Amino acid sequence: MPFYNYACNSCGSEFEVFRRMSDSSSVPCEKCGSEKTKKQVSACAIIVHNTLASSSAREGFKRESEQRTELAKNYGLETVRPLAGTPFSTVYNEVKKQGGLVKEQMAEKQEKEKARIRAKRMEWLPKAHKRAPKKGRIMNEQRAKEEAAKRAIRL
């Protein structure tokens, strides 16, 4: 019996069900109990008995994983999901062509984040300066008490 992926139309949750291929009855949602669920298209395992085909498939998977790591490292793209029917190599080549644009967008996003952090620090700085004199005065008083205690012991 295989696993099937279902999505609930009511609450939007996705879940997996282990059931027979011949079962055609609807599956209730695990989260909300609604009967309005829809079977999702999911990936399946491919068993290849031909050694040449299996080695080329392994090479393809290896190449795709290397390309994904390169996109993550050089362009900051952690998750890349091609549209249905589009091979990953096409997406990879498009990103490589428009690499300058992607890098510019990532740099712009980083600059905006740095500016936001700077603005937050500038907002916090005056409050810190208001607290600092009071803290300094308290520390000076504590030092004076400690020195007075030391002098009292010497006398």
Output the pTM of the full model. Answer: 0.35
**CA angle, 39 then 44 then 49, to 5°:** 155
What residues form DSSP beta bridges with 6? 15, 39
Task: Count how many residues are written for the chain.
Answer: 155
Mean pLDDT by 10 residues, the chain (155 residues): 80 82 79 84 66 78 86 76 82 79 79 91 77 75 89 71
Q: Give me the residue label for tokens 């690499």.
A: 99
pLDDT value of position 28: 87
Contact 6, 40 (CB under 8 A): yes
pLDDT value of position 155: 56
Strands (DSSP E) along 24-132, which ranges? 37-39
CB atoms within 10 A of CB 30: 15
What is the DSSP code (8-state) at residue 25? S
Alpha-carbon distances of 83 from 47, 58, 91, 97, rounded to whole Å: 25, 22, 9, 18
pLDDT value of position 122: 85
pLDDT value of position 106: 77
Contact 56, 48 (CB under 8 A): no
